[in-house]
């Protein structure tokens, strides 16, 4: 794991992110030696939700994080990878923010690693990044992903070139490992 220590990762989120998909993935990347920054539409602290497996629903998180950068200040050239945590409202809000969609498009166009989990593939749909790609995501997004041109596969993690996708919080270990592997290459 020598390469990852020189890698810079951008995470992008706003209110409503799935807590473990942001914090656990971020920690796995930091533990592997990557430098991780968070961008959002605002610099005010953002909060997320926690998926409750038994209830089959999310509840509000009490854990907040302060973004490092505003979306409009992100220089894509400064980063090696983009990680998009899910949560229902986080990507649904971000896909309506032109700067967020443009960041995804730039990472895809520059063939950089892009990783999206749970509902975050909505950002890939909005950025027209799924045509001819293999991908996965949360169950309710699969038709959207297929309509956007993806071959949708029900696996914990799907890697198609530099595109990495996962379905849900339970897939975080496989998702984080795939990102680390991609960054260490």
Residue 145 has pLDDT above 90, yes or no: yes
Span 112-143, pLDDT tens digits = 999 999 999 999 999 999 999 999 999 999 99
If you average pLDDT over residues 94-108, what whole number do you get? 98
pLDDT for the residue numbered 57: 65
Measured CA angle at 14 (ends 13, 15), to 5 deg: 135
The secondary structure element, H or E, covering residue 126 is helix 121-126
Which residues belong to the active site?
118-119
- pLDDT tier at 185 (50, 70, 90 boundaries)? confident
pLDDT for the residue numbered 171: 97
Q: What are phi and psi of 174, to 5 degrees?
A: -70, -40
pLDDT for the residue numbered 3: 85
- Domain 8-184, what architecture? 3-Layer(aba) Sandwich (3.40)
- Please state, rounded to an integer, the average pLDDT across all residues of the chain: 95
Q: How far apart are CA 94 and CA 121, in angstroms?
A: 11
**Can you state the angle between helices 172-184 and 19-32, rounded to 10 degrees?**
40
Q: How far apart are CA 85 and CA 174, in angstroms?
A: 14
If you average pLDDT over residues 34-54, what whole number do you get? 91
pTM: 0.96
């Amino acid at each position: 794991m020598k390469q990852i220590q020189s890698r810079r990762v951008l995470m992008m989120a706003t209110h409503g992110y799935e807590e473990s998909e942001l914090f656990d993935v971020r920690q796995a990347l930091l533990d592997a030696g990557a430098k991780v920054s968070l961008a959002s539409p605002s610099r005010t602290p953002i909060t997320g939700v926690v998926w409750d497996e038994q209830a089959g629903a999310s509840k509000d998180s009490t854990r907040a994080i302060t973004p490092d950068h505003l979306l409009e200040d992100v220089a894509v050239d400064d980063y090696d990878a983009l990680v998009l945590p899910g949560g229902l409202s986080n990507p649904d809000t971000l896909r309506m923010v032109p700067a967020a969609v443009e960041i995804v498009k730039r990472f895809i166009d520059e063939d950089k690693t892009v990783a999206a989990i749970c509902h975050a593939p909505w950002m890939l749909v909005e950025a027209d990044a799924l045509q001819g790609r293999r991908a996965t995501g949360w169950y309710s997004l699969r038709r959207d992903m297929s309509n956007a041109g993806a071959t949708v596969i029900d696996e914990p993690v799907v890697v198609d070139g530099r595109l990495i996708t996962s379905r849900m919080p339970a897939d975080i270990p496989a998702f984080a490992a795939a990102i680390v592997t991609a960054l260490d290459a």
